[in-house]
Amino acid sequence: MRFPPIRSGRLIPLMALSLLALFAAGCQREPTPETATPTARPETAVSAEDRDEHSYAEPEKVVIDDLALDLALGFDSKTLAGTATYTLDWKDDGATQLVLDTRDLAIDRVEGQTDGGWQPLQYTLDAPDELLGSRLAIETPERNALVRVTYRTSPGASGLQWLEPSMTEGGELPFMFSQSQAIHARSWVPLQDTPSVRYTYSAKIASRPDVMVLMSADNDPAAERDGDYAFEMPQPIPSYLMAIAAGDLVFKPISGRAGVWAEPAMVDEAVEEFADTEEMIRTTEQLYGPYRWERYDLLILPPSFPFGGMENPRLSFITPTVIVGDKSLVSLIAHELAHSWSGNLVTNASWKDMWLNEGFTSYVENRIVEALYGKEVADMEFVIAREGLQKDLAETPSELQVLAVRPGDARDPDDTFGAVAYDKGAWFLQFLEERFGRETLDAFLRGYFDHFAFQSISTATFVEYAKAELLPKQPDAVTESELEAWLYEPGIPASAPQVLSPRLGLVDSARLAWLGSAQLPPQSMTAEWTTQEWIHFLEGMPETLTLEQMSQLDTAYSFSGTPNGELAMRWYPLAVRSGYAIAYEPMSAFLQRIGRRKLIMPVYEALAQSEQGLAFARRVFERARPGYHPITIASVQKTLDEAKPRPAPAVTPPPPEPEVEGGAGADGTSPQAPSAG
């Protein structure tokens, strides 16, 4: 056994009791709960050493049970200002402080409710830690049931982006949105900013009357735009799922419980692209039990949104870069929807155990894709993810190649957004599926989501549960050392099931043939290719191609200027490495139009390899920066600051000056562009 003793031994008593009960019950399934919203708040199953190192909060002393926000949204000042009122559940009779996480917040006053009304409370706001922000310690000798903080955010809040009207589709109204995961909620609300604490919330938001405001709560599709908005979130959520957005947003339904919020010019396209959302919800319900969050809507953000998607409850935030016209990138929706079970219902207790959110979700995502679009498509996506994982592993230090990251190893959770938690995590579940059979694993997962619904758990708790509920189903299926290898060892265990994709195999043959003979695959073949096949075609290219080869590909397929970000993020780095100067102009436009980290970072990283490329990247970044989200700015800045470029080889022509946005090919209107279909 290599499980550290604490991981199996020191669960909080309630958890230990429920585990005992499980053993005593002879591993029977939990009954499916009838209610959508939990009535009693279950204890969080976290051992002392699994504590969240990314938060100053002390949830063993006191927890926030409910949060009431009353905020004014100021587009001109780029601030949110008002009050946060906490209903507290004091766990420790000796506790005299409420410790909250904040980052760049101006605290005006702190009050506690007493019999005599609201009374001021003493507090100290520590100097900021670069990663964690400022610890706010509020003196609460009376352990008030209600505490209220009056505060204001900073215009540079790391979890908010404020966009000028010119940066929106419509160009008339400003836009703002939050991105709280992993530890940015604290930059717009003082909170116990840890996924181990869950609370219900309500909010009153005052804004200019011509913008619509939405939150990760009970958005009303018929809400009037009047500048006065009220929200309720009756299901308890962790802080990283707090979300707000405001702009020229209109609603269009997909089904009775699902729909799209977007700028008017985008909404029809988005509804068409994401028309399968209701079927995805029904599929997941059949697999893993009821959808417990009532509505499921999608909010389409401007292209500066730093992620592909964010699973904010009831309202997933979605990048517009997956709207490519043929539904080929809708696995993103399957992914964010899947979080409604893995992540939002059963939550990682700290970011060390992020695989519990992202690995489970990537597995469920693939199951949804298989159910809706067939096994061939699901297998292509799995194989592509695995290829990405192999590349990622080559650059990941061994302590971050494990699923269950050890205390101290993941300093900045924004940096652990790598393939390990996602794709190694999903691969592990696929391994369990292979060994136990789909029926057994599905029943286990359904029981897992029910059992831990609205709780935050660690890997240790998962292991205990799997040992009680899954392993005994077929005692010879998986050994403990296999389980340990998956969770606690770097790299990919030898027991990993291999998936082959014949369709991607054909792409390999086509690429090889072209590399050998300069003979491009027949048009009748490539006409059938989807985004996944094009991704694979580019992904398998050698480090560099000759200028003739680049030009032949570009002439045939118009990769430069492609509107498909998944192709752009692979083509432009290849162009940079190959010294293919023609791509620089559309590449510069791409970097200025898109702020999604996953798509643009590979391009910046490729540029940062050479001195000339780095100089070009710096110039582009300077232009792009005002339109980037703070999270994207931080990532690009870090890559450029830490670059170790080598001098360019003499054959490489100097890159041209970056064009301002709107340069040729920026919108990828070329008729031959493989827009994936």
Pick the closer one to ligand BES by CB: 219 or 319: 319
Q: Respond yes or no: is residue 86 known to be catalytic.
A: no
Site for Zn ion, residues 611 to 650, rule: CB under 5 A: none
Q: What are phi and psi of 226, to 5 degrees?
A: -140, 5
3 state SS of 318: strand
Alpha-carbon distance of 288 to 337, in angstroms, equals 12
Shortest reach from residue 631's CB to ligand BES, in Å: 8
Own/partner pairs for 400-404, CB < 8 Å, 24+ apart? Answer: 401/490, 401/491, 402/487, 402/488, 402/489, 402/490, 403/355, 403/359, 403/428, 403/459, 403/486, 403/487, 403/488, 404/7, 404/352, 404/353, 404/355, 404/459, 404/487, 404/488
Burial of 53 per CB tally in 10 Å (0-12, 13-18, 19+): middle
Shortest reach from residue 569's CB to ligand BES, in Å: 11
User: CB under 5 to 8 A by kind: which of ligand BES, Zn ion, none does 676 bind?
Assistant: none
User: CB under 5 to 8 A by kind: which of ligand BES, Zn ion, none does 181 bind?
Assistant: ligand BES
Q: Is the peptide bond between 394 and the residue preceding it cis, with omega within 30 degrees of 0?
A: no
User: CB under 5 to 8 A by kind: which of ligand BES, Zn ion, none does 389 bind?
Assistant: none
Pick the closer one to Zn ion by CB: 235 or 361: 361
Site for Zn ion, residues 258 to 287, rule: CB under 5 A: none
Pick the closer one to ligand BES by CB: 212 or 421: 421
User: How many amino acids of this chain bind Zn ion (CB under 5 A)?
Assistant: 2
- DSSP assignment of 415-456 equals TT-SHIIIIIHHHHHHHHHHHH-HHHHHHHHHHHHHHTTTEE
Shortest reach from residue 630's CB to ligand BES, in Å: 13
3 state SS of 409: coil
User: CB under 5 to 8 A by kind: which of ligand BES, Zn ion, none does 310 bind?
Assistant: ligand BES
Pick the closer one to ligand BES by CB: 190 or 309: 309
User: CB under 5 to 8 A by kind: which of Zn ion, ligand BES, none does 162 bind?
Assistant: none
Alpha-carbon distance of 175 to 163, in angstroms, equals 5
Q: Respond yes or no: is residue 584 known to be catalytic.
A: no
Shortest reach from residue 335's CB to Zn ion, in Å: 5
Query: Residue 89 CB: number of other CB atoms within 10 A?
Result: 15
Shortest reach from residue 540's CB to ligand BES, in Å: 21
Shortest reach from residue 182's CB to ligand BES, in Å: 5
Shortest reach from residue 160's CB to ligand BES, in Å: 14
Q: Which is nearest to 200 in space by CA: 245, 244, 243, 232?
A: 232
User: CB under 5 to 8 A by kind: which of ligand BES, Zn ion, none does 304 bind?
Assistant: none
User: CB under 5 to 8 A by kind: which of Zn ion, ligand BES, none does 329 bind?
Assistant: none
Shortest reach from residue 366's CB to Zn ion, in Å: 13
Question: Interface with ligand BES by CB under 6 A: which residues?
Answer: 181-182, 307-311, 332, 335-336, 339, 358, 417, 422, 598
Pick the closer one to Zn ion by CB: 187 or 348: 348
Cβ neighbors of 476 (< 8 A, separation 6 or more) are none
**Nearest residue to the partner ligand BES, using Cβ:** 308
Say which residue the tokens 């643009």 belong to.
Answer: 600
Q: Which token pair is 488?
A: 């606690």
Pick the closer one to ligand BES by CB: 43 or 387: 387
User: Looking at 422, 488, 557, 628, which residue is catalytic?
Assistant: 422
Contact 507, 529 (CB under 8 A): yes
Burial of 388 per CB tally in 10 Å (0-12, 13-18, 19+): middle
User: CB under 5 to 8 A by kind: which of Zn ion, ligand BES, none does 132 bind?
Assistant: none
Q: Which token pair is 664?
A: 């040729």
User: Looking at 58, 273, 336, 358, which residue is catalytic?
Assistant: 336
Pick the closer one to Zn ion by CB: 240 or 571: 240
Read off the DSSP letter of residue 106.
Answer: E
Shortest reach from residue 59's CB to ligand BES, in Å: 21
Q: Which is nearest to 474 in space by CA: 430, 432, 442, 445?
A: 432
Alpha-carbon distance of 103 to 23, in angstroms, equals 44
Return the beta strands (E) in 20-96 as ranges: 62-74, 79-90
Say which residue the tokens 């996506």 belong to.
Answer: 381
Shortest reach from residue 390's CB to ligand BES, in Å: 17
Pick the closer one to ligand BES by CB: 98 or 603: 603
Pick the closer one to ligand BES by CB: 598 or 619: 598
Contact 54, 349 (CB under 8 A): no
Site for Zn ion, residues 361 to 420, rule: CB under 5 A: 361
Q: What are phi and psi of 142, to 5 degrees?
A: -95, 5
Query: Residue 4 CB: number of other CB atoms within 10 A?
Result: 14
Q: Which is nearest to 359 in space by CA: 335, 381, 327?
A: 335
Say which residue the tokens 């209109």 belong to.
Answer: 250
Pick the closer one to ligand BES by CB: 457 or 470: 457
Cβ neighbors of 205 (< 8 A, separation 6 or more) are 69, 71, 72, 73, 213, 215, 229, 230, 231, 244, 246
Q: Please choose, out of 296-304, 352-360, 368-376, 531-539, the segment that lies near Zn ion by the rule CB under 5 A.
A: 352-360
Residues classed as catalytic = 336, 422
Query: What residues make contact with Zn ion under the rule CB under 5 A?
Result: 358, 361
